[in-house]
Amino acid sequence: MKEMQKEILSYLEKIIEEEKRLARKGEIPDYIEEVDNNDHGAVTVSLTSIDGTTVRAGDYEGRFSLQSISKLFPLALALMDHGSEEVFKYTGKAPTGNVYHSLIQMEMQEREKPLNPMVNSGAIVMCGLMKGENADKKVDRILALARDLTGNQELTYNEKVYEAEDQDLNRSLFYYNRHNGYIKGEFEDVMPVYWKMTAIEVTIEELSNMAAVIANHGVCVHSGKQIITKDVVTTLKAFMITCGMYDESGSFALEVGIPAKSGVSGSIVAAIPGKLGIGVMGPDLNKYSNSIAGIRMLKKISDKWKLSIFSEDRSS
């Protein structure tokens, strides 16, 4: 076991080295660069097996915001609150990836229903739908869930990042979805939830802990506690494979084959069912807003240990 961990660590350190040598090629969104702590070189990776062991490499001490990864939280809570039949009256189940020129078009289905809960529209709608009397109560529930998933009971959001999140496009989406009947509540009861959850900060190890719970069908790999119900976790993983990587989801399913969700902070959470949780982080983004280093590292790890859910040897 120790032997295997060493071997894993040595491989992770190797791929981190490769990333550090590779020229930076991507972009960091301005507002992220301003408010977040990470710099271009802050590449890191962490693996947490469902037996609870974690191996990590790179700059693993930094904290970064979850950004779109947090979209998993209100979806999980809304599903546990209302059941899937009710939830999918409010968002579609369609994959992401049919590239259209307009951000808004891209997120809408025929009757203007959000495409799925992983696009901005869908996540805003989920923040409206999940139970909670007001924004503060909803944020408390999301923080409680995020703390259980990461194992860090001090976890919170970064105030500066939260403020930077308050942007016109999401305001527009809120009113558009309320106009279409998919949101019932007030602006003040919904949008702060969306922006605060986006600003929740984690370490790479906390991210791989969270991934491991998803890989472990909702059960914490440390405490053994059922944090999210099995059915809901199955739904999360299905959405992660069909729409977790923005418009690159189809391509990522083909080439990496691991249910994953990325955020514009450059972080990605990835869960191999019944095996392993992975967190990767590298701030430079490609044109799909996914971490360049993150995708490259996940591809190497998937190839190295045959982790694609579509490939041959993963059950061995």
Sign of the dihedral defined by the CA atoms of residues 289, 283, 141, 219, in that order: positive
CA distances in angstroms from 178 to 89, 119, 125, 193, 241, listed in the order given = 14, 16, 9, 16, 28
Minimal distance, residue 112 CB to its own copies, in Å: 6
Span from 35-43, 96-104, 148-156, 260-268 in contact with its own copies (CB under 8 A) = 96-104
116 touches its own copies by CB under 8 A: yes
Q: Toward its own copies, which CB reaches closer, 98 or 223? A: 98
Q: Which of residues 200-219 bind its own copies (CB under 8 A)?
A: 217
Part of the chain binding its own copies (CB under 8 A), chosen from 146-154, 200-208, 228-236, 282-290: 228-236
The residue (of 133 and 313) whose beta carbon lies closer to its own copies is 313
How far does Cα 263 stand from its chain's mean position?
A: 6
- Is 238 one of the binding residues for its own copies (CB under 8 A)? yes
- Determine contact, residues 131/189, Cβ cutoff 8 Å: no
Residue count, binding to its own copies (CB under 8 A): 58
Quote the least distance from Cβ 77 to its own copies, whole Å.
17
- Report whether 194 belongs to an annotated binding site: yes
CB of 194 to its own copies, least distance (A): 14
Q: Burial code of 44-63, b = ≥16 C-beta within 10 A, e = fewer?
A: bbbbbbbeebbbbbbbbebe
Residues that bind its own copies (CB under 8 A): 92-105, 108-110, 112, 115-116, 167-169, 171-176, 178-179, 217, 230, 234-235, 237-239, 241-243, 247, 249-251, 253-254, 257, 259, 273-274, 308-312, 314-315
Binding-site residues for substrate, in ranges, read 68, 120, 165, 170, 194, 246, 264
Binding-site residues, in ranges, read 68, 120, 165, 170, 194, 246, 264
